[in-house]
Amino acid sequence: MVVSPIESRYKTEMNSLFDENARIASWVEVEVALARAHARLGNIPKEAADEIAMGAKRVRLIRVNEIEAEIHHDLMAMVRALTEQCGKYGGYVHYGATSYDIEDTATGLTMKRAIGKISERLEKTRAILRKRALETKKLVCIGRTHGQHAVPTTYGMKFAIWYTEAGRDLERLSQAEKMISVGKMAGATGTMATFGGRGRKIQSMVMKELGLEPAEVSNQVVQRDRHAQVIFALALTAATLEKMAKELRNLQRSEILEVAEPFSSKQVGSSTMPQKRNPHKSERICSLARLVRGNVAVAMENIALEHERDLTNSANERFIFADSFILTDYMLSEMNRLLEGLVFFPENIERNLALTGGAVLSERVMIALVGKGMGRQDAHELMRNCNVEAFEGKKKLLEVLCARKEVTKLIPKQELARLFDPHTYIGEAVEIVEEAVKE
């Protein structure tokens, strides 16, 4: 029976890189590369490397698990299972290596591949954001700061900001990929003592075959700052997704309702309130982002291992690596579906623009008064007082301003009225969006 929801509810294609079969397959892949390096250097017969490579194809998880149940060592269980599949030359399996030569090198290989898949998914997210930004670059809406109506902006600005942020996430993932794409073949304390003076050559050959870089220096393990950087890059990507999801679910509030998640004809929002259209996709993304962020703290703790290493990183890494990659991949998949099906409510966008009775254009009028000769601080104080009067008297700001002679002597009423069109107060928003998403 499945216990973890990443095996069912939040499962993606990423699972295939982190399941038990993939783990064993990556270990065997490293063992084969090691055997081939030994054979090329003449340390073992060429036939031995060929036999180990053929035997690797026959290793099965069920047998590895049977052996582990007896010896309580997962890597050595794989070594024995691989040895069983070899005939004459099985004794050369794992020659000169320690467990984490194999495990950490395999982890680097897996993470390199996993980051590639995350990056592909994130590229799709950016493509959708770019499309949305260009579609809505002139869709004027109210901007909000501190939860209050500020000045007009456009939906294109929102999407362009997310597009550029996702671009920085891609850069960080690329940096993390470079950092984690390393392996080691250096023995129990990193001295390569078991390789008879040819350790650096063997390590270089193994990593070249696997498409990795050799760690410059290691002890029993590849140093965990590399892994922490990967988890942190995933957490930052998750934070970007949470930022987007939080904005979209707040904009779906009943009293705002400018946008909404896609909602299928048979979808149920609540078990007791039939009218509900809950933003469950956005809320789920926000929830899972907390888990991915939480894994950063664990990854950071793993950096300070004792002496040449202890085992305090091992158990938790069985969780945090797979969880972080799978959940981030799931969140990206959910966000892509959400963005592609996002529904806009133009009438509500217009309603909210007008909700304050023109108060959101106060800045524009203030700037216009300064342009006509009034001091900036005087104009600010005048507009503040006029807004208080409008709010307390339940009047539109334009009505209050038109009754002020100190205003109308500088700005005629007809010109004042034109200043209260929010669609003409978006500055260079259109150009900013176009420049931000320019390919």
Encoded tokens for 50: 């060929």
- CA dist., res. 76 & res. 100, Å (int): 11
Name the nearest CA neighbour of 184 among 220, 153, 160: 220
DSSP-assigned beta bridge partners for residue 142: 152
Pairing of strands 182-183, 213-214: parallel
Q: What's the 3-state SS for the chain?
A: CCCCHHHCCCCCCCHHHHCHHHHHHHHHHHHHHHHHHHHHCCCCCHHHHHHHHHHHCCCCHHHHHHHHHHHCCHHHHHHHHHHHCCCCCHHHCCCCCCHHHHHHHHHHHHHHHHHHHHHHHHHHHHHHHHHHHHHCCCCEEEEEECCEEEEEEEHHHHHHHHHHHHHHHHHHHHHHHHHHCEECCCCCCCCCHHHCCCHHHHHHHHHHHHCCEECCCCCCCCCCHHHHHHHHHHHHHHHHHHHHHHHHHHHCCCCCCCEECCCCCCCCCCCCCCCCCCCHHHHHHHHHHHHHHHHHHHHHHCCCCCCCCCCCCHHHHHHHHHHHHHHHHHHHHHHHHHHHCCEECHHHHHHHHCCCCCHHHHHHHHHHHHHCCCCHHHHHHHHHHHHHHHHHCCCCHHHHHHCCHHHHCCCCHHHHHHHCCHHHCCCCHHHHHHHHCCC
Catalytic machinery residues: 146, 270
Name the nearest CA neighbour of 409 among 434, 380, 374: 374
Cβ(138)–Cβ(154) under 8 Å? yes
Name the nearest CA neighbour of 248 among 89, 386, 128, 93: 128
Question: Would you give the end-to-end CA distance of the chain in angstroms?
Answer: 48
